[in-house]
Amino acid sequence: MKFQETKLKGCFILEPTIYEDERGYFFEAFNDQKFEQIVGVKPLFVQDNQSQSQYGVVRGLHMQAGEYSQAKLVRVLEGKVLDVAVDVRPGSDTYGQSVAVELSAENKRQLYVPRGFLHGFSVLSENAVFFYKCDNHYHQVAEDGVHPLDKTIGIDWQVPRENMILSKKDEEAQSFTAFKDKNGIG
């Protein structure tokens, strides 16, 4: 498995080594020893989540705040998505910057999103099944987020606006400016 750190420190793309023959394929999706050696974090994932979405769905930008903050290891089991992570770690040199990575059942890539990041994805295929591991349990009171179409962050979700499907919660999400003000970052 190859690990490639993105421009956002601590955020990694994982690419498996795939072994194929006439029977199909095999790959190691996760190895805690390799992960700790490369990423420098001993993973302890405590919750797995899975969602299914249709083309045009944009989910995000979400995070868990404070003591309930979560790191995530995300991948796509079916279809294709554009996965996005935005650094909102106070004091980070890349605060407010994002990375976008195409994850698909075909390329089998994964993205490790550390704690202190907003996260979201858009569905680029007819349907997609999205799977992710979290290192902390979900707590509704710790939910935070930013509107996915916030112009300050300026993410190109690779879906025309007229085809986007957002939840009511995401449509009503705060701006990045309000998020920064709430968190004392100016």
34 assigned to some structural domain: no
11 assigned to some structural domain: no
Name residue, tokens 């879906």.
Answer: 159
49 assigned to some structural domain: yes
19 assigned to some structural domain: no
Q: What's the whole-model pTM score?
A: 0.95
CA distance 98 to 156: 11
- pLDDT at residue 184, rounded to an integer: 82
Cα distance between the two ends of the chain: 40
139 assigned to some structural domain: yes
Closest to 134 measured CA to CA, from 13, 53, 43, 66: 43
186 pLDDT band, cuts 50/70/90, is low
3-class secondary-structure state, position 61: strand
Of 55, 62, 68, 95, catalytic: 62
Of the given ranges (25-39, 48-62, 101-115), which has the lowest mean pLDDT?
Answer: 25-39
Q: What is the pLDDT of residues 118-142, one digit of tens each?
A: 999 999 999 999 999 999 999 999 9
Q: Any catalytic annotation for residue 62?
A: yes
118 assigned to some structural domain: yes
Do residues 4 and 13 make contact, with C-beta atoms less than 8 angstroms apart?
Answer: yes
- pLDDT at residue 84, rounded to an integer: 98
- pLDDT at residue 43, rounded to an integer: 85
pLDDT at 2 over 80: yes
Q: Any catalytic annotation for residue 95?
A: no
67 assigned to some structural domain: yes
Of 112, 119, 132, 147, catalytic: 132
- pLDDT at residue 6, rounded to an integer: 97
Strand partners, 53: 128
Number of separate domains in the chain: 1
156 assigned to some structural domain: yes
CATH number of domain containing 130: 2.60.120.10
Q: What is the pLDDT of residues 15-45, one digit of tens each?
A: 999 999 999 999 999 999 999 999 999 989 9
pLDDT at 185 over 90: no
Contacts of 119 (CB under 8 A, 6+ apart): 60, 61, 62, 63, 72, 74, 83, 84, 85, 86, 113
Q: What is the pLDDT of residues 144-183, one digit of tens each?
A: 999 999 999 999 999 999 999 999 999 999 999 999 999 8
Mean pLDDT over 46-67 rounds to 97
Contacts of 170 (CB under 8 A, 6+ apart): 58, 59, 60, 145, 147, 148
Domain span including residue 156:
44-182
